[in-house]
Each structure stands twice: as structure tokens, then as C-alpha cells.
A and B are shown apart, each in its own frame.
Chain A
């Protein structure tokens, strides 16, 4: 176990999450606070579930292997359910916070929308979950030793890192799905999140048969990603426009908005969204603020005549 393993596993497990943090969360203080509070809620759920498991183990016979295994399975499932329960509690708390922010703001719009909060909460849960799974392993990876010398799998560190990464992503998407389900009272979305979480945790019982646990988890992650993307207002068209953003004609961008008389200069998202609101542009009703919607096109220049 060398520095290479340490750095490799760290970046595999936490690289995407830190990228998400730096590019989407780090700039806004409110989002950082929501992230840390999300991590705190996950921690409390873990604490309670460990308490239950600990009591159960202490009350049982330590020699009975099957019982201990059964208690472990029970512990894992109970922990998953408790995590989702705390996600719901966190949703309630954020809803109250949004009402407070709306009441305080000047135009009845809170500075952060529930969808953004859902995303940040998901990342908070994911980061804390990943950190708790991975940090001790990483610390051990720096020290001396041989992986799998007693006959266990030699890919332990690598697969742990990949599993951590997929779990962080999954928590992010589950956050979005869960909050969307709570917002629009679609209980089947919430149930789907719980079932997915139970499935992923249950699949990890297949370890060290990594094909059984990693591959389905990644497939589930892809499905959850697509679903969350669609729920957040994405579509295939949006994706194509975003990917082709650099080559799109400036005229084309203005045309989609129905703006006339634009010229090449730096556009101002805030003023644009206010102007769109004034003009009762249909875009505003769809999105929380046109500024967010237009951000992918920030490379393109357009402005209003007014």
C-alpha cells in the first residue's frame, strides 16, 4: 500500500464530489450551510441506528455467528430506513427555512430554490456517507501492509473507492428525487428512493463478488441520474444545446427566448430575469429564475435593447 494507492483511491472516491462542491456549492454561503447541515442529519441518523444495533448486539450471544449476521443485516436495513427518515425530516426543515427566506425577501422569491436545496442536501448526505465509509481505509492505505494476504480480495481498496463514489452520486440523485416527491406529493417517488437505497445496500452483501454489487449499483446510478435530470427540467434537447453551446449561433440563442434587437455584449442574468418577469415570458413560469436557466449559455452574448 503506497502513496499511489492512497491518492488514487481518494480521487476516485471523492474527486467528482469535490468537483461538484467547488463548482456548484462553494461560492454560495447558504449552500455551504445547507451542505453541512445535511451532513449533520446523516450523522445523527447513523448515530441512532448504531445505538440500536449496539444494544441488540450487547443483548445477544456473541458466539452465535448466524445471529450476529442476522443482526448485522437488520442493522443495515434499519440504518437505511432511518437515513431516509432523516432525509424527510431535513426536507421539512428546509421547507420551513424557505418560508422564512421568502418572508424576508423583497420580491417574494427566496434566494435559493427547493430544487437547489435538494441537490445540496443530497451532496451533503453523500459526502458524509462516503467519508465515513472511506476515511479509515484511506488512513490505513498509507501504512504498511499487503492487501488480501489472508485470502481476501486484493481489490479491496479499489472497489471500496468505486463503491464510495457511486454512493455519493446516488445520494445526490436520491436527494433530488426525494424532495421532488415530497414537494409534489408523489409517494411512489419516495418509495422508489427507499427501495433503491435498500437494494444498493443489500447488493453490497454480495461483496467480494464485486460484479454483483458494483455493476448493478452503477446501473441504478445511471437510472437515478436520468430520472433526476428529467425531473429537474432537463430534456434531450437541453442536453444537446448545452453540449453544442460553443458552436451555437448567437442568433439562435436569442431566438429561443424570443428576444428581439439584441446585440453583442455581456448579458446580465438578474436584469434579464426581471425583464422576462415583467414581460410575463413563459420561461419564467417554468423555472425558478431565468438567470439559472440561461446560465449554460453564459458563453454566448446577448442583451436587451431596453
Chain B
């Protein structure tokens, strides 16, 4: 699955967050049982397996029937690789559950405590029609019109980005992304911090504020656009997604927000799956050129090098330890637990002197699953809106949260089956919307009645 997101930053520049879920095109990892002799055969297996289709039980049958050792081992290796894919699948799902959950928690906590983000204070220029109309029909019409405007803006910006990428205007794109993240990391953080301090009535002087925001923003820019510890980069991406989601929650009018969420999942579906869809073209171009999509747009669950891949030994030695650690983490469930890990950490120290080729091979293997930041943003918008508008009810928020996680799980399952770029929004947003409206209107009265009589089901 490809997750892709066009990073939108400020209110001046149009916001388009398009996302879909991307799987890493990584070859299956050979097993590490009892010595590494399987690794060479495993790579040959990887190519054969990618060419063939999933044969499932036939593998086991073929393995048992053949008398010679090698076909048995080959089919066994293939089974191992398939099992590894599945095990990696479960692990990758959790690697995405955690950041999505964190982003939602930040958004919901802010919505519930800081009044600023639930106050009506005007609208963005992308939703020009007001919803303060007396009749229901007019309000519905206005929200649909707002949606059309917003989606058109998103389409235009996405197509513009794809054209820039196709014609290799990298400098323009990088400048645009840097401006966006500057805006997010400095201006929006300043506003956020100001509102939080106001809510808790904490005084802060301007010099301290300047130092804090400067450090936060500068480190964020470096982590996102250049190099940094993986977890710090992930944390910053989560924070800017949360900030963006909060902006949307504040400035999108009620009904428009729901209609936009629905429309954007449909757009996502079409943009990623249709042959001429902008997102699909973007991902395919990136894969053709063998470049990663801009790190500022995508959350990656594993170590990801920037555009210039194989660096010489000295420069690579620092992060190489992390890559090995990531690789080791990825394989720890293959080894026996507990004592083997101490063995492994000892063998890791001579690793940095390993030649570059094995390092690259390991990077490829540990790429993990990527999710676009727009996915984070729209999931958080849904849950945040549920928290903001569901009559102070936490059940609705919880129901939307579970629905989104299940949607993400199903999407990742489809990813494991189809192994190509898939949109991450449709299933989750559909489940989220269904559960929001049904929990708010059906489950809430039921649970309230039960609670007032202290009944338990």
C-alpha cells in the first residue's frame, strides 16, 4: 500500500493531504535459523517467490512428497518467508497503530481541554459558504458546495505537485515543503503553545518562549528534512499531523467537515487506484526512478535513508548501528527469546566494519510500512470532531477510534494481499463515519438510559 500525502501547511497555501498506504517493496527476509546458510538460498527464493503466486498448502504438500533434500528445503524456506511476511504484517500493523493512536490522543486531549479549538472563529477561504443559514436544505447545500471547492483545490494542488515531480523540479518542491513545515513548526506551534498556556493560566515570558519555539522548530526542520534519530522524526511527524488536524477541526464548519471527510475518501480511492490518478502516478514515478518519496510527506515505520543512499563507511557507521538494531528487532521473534539476544548484541559490535553491500541489503529489508501524513491528519480530524461535537460523550470518540484502527488493520491486510499502493482513507473513514453517526444517535440514548438505572449489559 502506498501512503502518500501532499503536505499542506498554512492557510495561504491550499491544503491537500492525500494519502494512501504504501508497502515497502522489500524482498522477503530469509530466515535466521541455526546459522545463516539459508540467507543465500533465501534470496534466490525471494526472486522465485515474487515471480510466483501464493501457493499456500501446496507448498507443504510439495515439500512432503519430494524425496530429495533441496526441494524440501526450498518449499520450507518459501513457507518460512510467507510466514515471515505474515509475522511482519502483524508487527507492521502495530507499528502503525501506535503513531495513529498517539496522534489521536494528542488531538482529543487538546480538544477536550483547550477551548480555543472548539470555538467558531471564521472559516478558511477554501470553505467560502457559511453554514449559518436557517433552513436545513440550505445548510446541506452550502456544505456540499464547500466540499466541492475544497476537493477541487486539493485536486489542483495534487496535480501541480505531480507535474512538478514529473518534470524534476525538485528544488521547487523542496522549497514548498520546507516553507510548509516552517509554517507548521513555528507559527502553528506558537499558536498552540499560546492557547495551552492560556487554558492553564501559566505565565511565560517572551524570551523563554522564543528559545523553546526556536529549538523545537529548528530540531524539527532538521529531523524531518535531513537526518535525525528515527523516533524523533516520527514524533515530529506525529506532532505536525496533530497540529494540522487541529487547524482543520477549528476552521471547518460542522456539516462541511463530515461531507469533506466522505468526499476525500472517495477521492483518495480514485486517486490511488485509477491508472491516471495523480497519486498513483506519483508513486509509480518515484518507484521508477528508485527514489523515496519526500520524507516530509510520509511517516515511515522503519529506518529510511534520504535520497542519497549508499554513503561511504564513515558516514554510514552512525546510523548503521540503528539499522542493525532495527533488523535485530525485526528478527527477534525468529530467534529463541531471552538469552539469544545477548549473544546477538555481542556479535553486533563488529558490524560497522561490514562492507556496504550488506548494509544496503539490510536497509532494504527493514523498510517497513509507510503511511502518509494526510492519513494521520484525517483520522485525527474524524476522531477530534467526534470528541468536539458528540454532546460531551466519550463513547462516540472511543467507538470512532476503534473503527479507525480496524479499518487500518483491514487496509494493511489488503496490502499484504495485493502488495501495491492502496488508499488508507476509504475503509477507515467509512467505518469511522458509520460508527460516529450510529453511536451518537443510537447507542448514546441506550447507554445513558442504562447508566441512569445502573444496569449492565
Interface residues of A (CB under 8 A from B): 29-30, 32-33, 36-37, 39-40, 43, 46-47, 49-51, 53-54, 57, 72, 75-76, 79-80, 83, 101, 103-106, 108, 111, 128-129, 131-133, 135-137, 139, 156, 159-160, 163, 167, 200-201, 204-205, 207-208, 266, 268-271
Contact = CB atoms under 8 A, between A and B. Distances in A.
Main secondary structure of the interface of A (DSSP, over half): helix
B60 interface: yes
Interface string B10-22: 0000000000000
Interface string B125-144: 00000000000000000000
A302 to B, nearest CB: 13
24 contacts: A29-B91, A33-B93, A33-B409, A36-B97, A36-B406, A43-B402, A47-B438, A47-B443, A49-B457, A53-B446, A54-B441, A54-B446, A72-B453, A76-B450, A105-B79, A106-B83, A132-B447, A135-B395, A136-B395, A136-B447, A205-B453, A205-B455, A268-B338, A269-B336
Contact of A37 (B83, B409, B455): B409
A270 B451 contact: no
B90 A30 contact: yes
Given A137-B451, A207-B453, 4 more contacts: A105-B83, A132-B447, A136-B394, A269-B337
Contacts of B338: 266, 268
A104 B86 contact: yes
Interface string B22-49: 0000000000000000000000000000
Contact of B336 (A50, A72, A268): A268
B157 interface: no
B60 A103 contact: yes
Contacts of A269: 336-337
Interface of B: 56-57, 60, 76, 79-80, 82-83, 86-87, 90-91, 93-94, 97, 336-340, 392-395, 398-399, 402-403, 405-406, 409, 435, 438-439, 441-443, 445-447, 449-451, 453-457
A49 B455 CA distance: 15
A111 B456 CA distance: 35
B421 to A, nearest CB: 22
Contact of B398 (A50, A57, A135): A135
Contacts of A108: 60
A103 B355 CA distance: 38
Nearest to A68: B449
Given A33-B409, A54-B442, A54-B446, A72 B94 contact: no
B393 A136 contact: yes
Nearest to A207: B454
Contacts of B90: 29-30, 33
A156 B409 contact: no
Contacts of B392: 139
A106 B402 contact: no
Nearest to B94: A29
A205 B455 CA distance: 6
A89 B455 CA distance: 25
Nearest to A34: B90
